[in-house]
Amino acid sequence: MSRAEDKQARDSARNGWLLSAPALTLLTFAAAGPLLIVLVYSFLQKGDYGNVIWEFSLDGWVGILFSRDIFDGTLGLADAHLTIFWRSVKLSLLTTLITFALGFPTAWFIATRPPTERAGWLFLITIPFWTNLLIRTFAIGEILRSEGLVNSALMALGVIETPIQMLYTDGAVLVGMAYVYLPLMVLPLYAAIERFDMRLLEAGYDLYASRTQVLRNVILPIVRPGIVAGSILVFVPSLGAYVTPRVLGGGKNMMIGNFIELQFGQGRNWPLGAALSMTLLVIVTVALLFYVRAVNRGASGGGHG
């Protein structure tokens, strides 16, 4: 490399850093700072009225899985906590599946419209973002509650005699989350399908593949990056969801997010809340690593099977 080239390379590297400096600074303080505080708090003792006592303790971390018996002080497995973890993971996975099942045909439909019409359809997809999440969630609650739209209609039609309990169930949380996160699945899927070369469909049919075979062997492997991106975008916020389970699930059907809030509020157990937050972070990281591996395998190994 000549001296001029060398200088040019150094300049462009320095300019790159300079340009990204504001964002990097913000990220460092806004993301790493609080995270560090949470990490430190998780290793402290809880104060009686919230807050923390600055003494090292593993109680917060132990409390994730075990609870101390009120009377004899022995440690036992905290079933309630495990139920909450399991419910969170289960509902998040189901939400991802449902949004994929609904989102894929939608994204396919939009991507196969004439180019001039696509923007209009995408615009429709983004309409839910215009209203506050809380308001939308309460609106779903209105529809699902015992005197709500669905029950009234069913009763008026004579299908049922007494209202079905729909609000404050896992089902209600699932409906709410699927609704809220559907656009996050549709948009990356659309981006992937829009790039998909439709001529490959004809090639597939020509080479004796049936419709299902074309879907499995041609379409899905090729749009896989979009599926992975959409799944991450839905699964990760689902796992930490707070508003939806709070409003539609009630106090009984908590997810991790509500459980964490509880520790910082009524529970007055900040170290446990902090430890739970870190646990959530670990679960998300593991899930992401799993996804990334899945993508890489798809990219290098032929992506079928």
Partner 1 sequence: MSDRDAVTAQNVVKAFGQGKASVRALDDVSLTIRKGEFFTLLGPSGCGKTTLLRLIAGFEMPTSGTILLDGQDVTDLPPNRRPVNTVFQSYALFPHLTVRENVGFALKMQGRKAAEIDDRTNQMLALVKLETLAERKTAQLSGGQQQRVALARALAPQPKVLLLDEPLSALDLKLRKEMQTELKRLQKETGITFVFVTHDQEEALTMSDRVAVMSAGKLQQVAPPRDIYTAPVNRFVADFIGETNFLAASPVPGGMRLGCGAIIAATGDGPVLTIRPEQVQIVPAETPGAIPATVDGLVYLGTDMHAHLRLSDGEALTARLPLPPGGDAGLAVGDRAAVTFAPGAARLIRD
Q: CA-based Rg of the chain, rounded to a whole angstrom?
A: 25
Give the integer Cα–Cα distance in Å for 262 and 50.
11
Residue 121 CB, nearest distance to partner 1 (Å)? 24
Among residues 84, 114, 126, the alpha carbon closest in space to that of 242 is found at 84
Nearer to partner 1, 102 or 228 (CB): 228
Residue 271 CB, nearest distance to partner 1 (Å)? 48
Nearer to partner 1, 219 or 262 (CB): 219
Nearer to partner 1, 60 or 298 (CB): 298
Q: Please give the single-letter amino acid code of residue 42.
A: S
Our CA angle for 135, 140, 143, nearest 5°, is: 130
Residue 206 CB, nearest distance to partner 1 (Å)? 5
Nearer to partner 1, 176 or 204 (CB): 204
Half-sphere exposure in the Cβ direction for 152 (13 Å, CA): 7
Structure tokens at 238: 């689902």
* Chain centre distance of CA 75: 33
Give the integer Cα–Cα distance in Å for 221 and 224.
5
Residue 224 CB, nearest distance to partner 1 (Å)? 8
What number of helices (H) and strands (E) belong to the chain? 15, 4
Nearer to partner 1, 14 or 304 (CB): 304
Residue 204 CB, nearest distance to partner 1 (Å)? 8
Binding site for partner 1 (CB under 8 A): 197, 199-200, 202-210, 213, 217-218, 221-222, 224, 298, 302-304
- DSSP state, residue 74: -
Give the integer Cα–Cα distance in Å for 185 and 235.
10
Phi, psi of 52 (to 5 degrees): -135, 155
Nearer to partner 1, 27 or 203 (CB): 203
C-alpha dihedral (106, 107, 108, 111), degrees to nearest 10: 130
Nearer to partner 1, 143 or 295 (CB): 295
Residue 189 CB, nearest distance to partner 1 (Å)? 17
Q: Please give the single-letter amino acid code of residue 100.
A: F
Residue 218 CB, nearest distance to partner 1 (Å)? 6
